[in-house]
Amino acid sequence: MAAPGDGGRFLVIFDFDETLVNESSDDAVVRTAPGQALPDWLRASYREGQYNEQMQRVLAYLAQQGVTESAIRAEIQSIPETPGLSALLDFLRAHAQDFECVVLSDANSVFIEAWLQHVGARQLFLEIFTNPAHFDDSGRLVLAPFHAHSCPRCPDNMCKQHILRDYLGRRSDERRRPFQRVFYVGDGANDVCPCLALGTADVAFARRDFPMHRILTHMQQMPAALTHTQQQTPAALTHTDTQTDTHTQQQTPAALTHTHTHTHTQQQTPATLRATVQPWSSGHDVMEYLQTAVGER
């Protein structure tokens, strides 16, 4: 990728869970637990809007059960990529002069770095914005929130729009020019907020039939309406069955046979979507759109 200060004409932002990888990495790590599941008391400890704190408890539990760093890394590295991702990443490598790529995810640094290094894609991404994590001297994976913020749409630990706006401002100063266009590739409800920072020339790639796609489609159909923005929670980590959504969840091993759920944080806040919404089902869909953008000088 281009060095900071240079960079391509276009910025591509990727979510991680169910965008780069075809599963929630937080669901995947649960498979390292005894019986490949969390105890009911731990799943029931989740509180709405405090998902980062819940994952801290989950990781502490795994350490108490003797789950090792190598077991966690191996499980994360085994997560399959989303369909067509390799072709998309190959295209971006071949057009590095045109594209600057970053990851913006509510997962954590250990999971994302481990997976990207494993598939040989780390060098493609100039920066990774995610919750910091590290293995301490005892072998426990320690997780912290990315930042504090006041956005009513987002979980307590991360507002992706705040991060994106800061990045766009900083890179414009470093490059001495703004990006020609910005492309955001995501799937979840927490990918909606950053898309509200996009302009009319930009594109929000929303994974077809996932929460981001449904919410943005609703916003397009009712642009003046108050928008209910939902925070998606990986199902393996929660206990309360609040809403079942069979279209947006990946299947899990038989040991995790509970009903998949979404816990929702609803904020009735006016929102304006200016970007084009482009559904995607595979990396090929995104690649074909970007190929057209490269040809438009």
Of 12, 69, 4, nearest in space to 290 by CA: 12
Mean pLDDT of the chain: 85
Q: Which residues of 76-85 are buried (b: 16+ CB within 10 A; e: fewer)?
A: beebebbebb
pLDDT tens-digit series, residues 184-237:
999 999 999 999 999 999 999 999 999 999 999 999 887 544 444 444 455 555
Residue tagged 């989950």 (tokens) = 58
Catalytic, 17? Answer yes
CATH of domain 10-295: 3.40.50.1000
Task: Give the CA radius of gyration of the chain.
Answer: 19
Local structure of residue 42 (DSSP, 8 states): H
Residue tagged 């956005």 (tokens) = 151
Enter the pTM of the model: 0.85
Residues 15, 27, 106, 202: which is the catalytic one? 15
Domain positions in the chain are 10-295
Catalytic, 191? Answer no
pLDDT tens-digit series, residues 10-31:
999 999 999 999 999 999 999 9
Residues 6, 17, 27, 40: which is the catalytic one? 17
CA angle at residue 263 from 261 to 269, to 5 degrees? Answer: 140
Pairwise CA distance, residues 256 & 251, whole Å: 9
CB atoms within 10 A of CB 69: 14
Q: Which two tokens stand for residue 271?
A: 């929102």
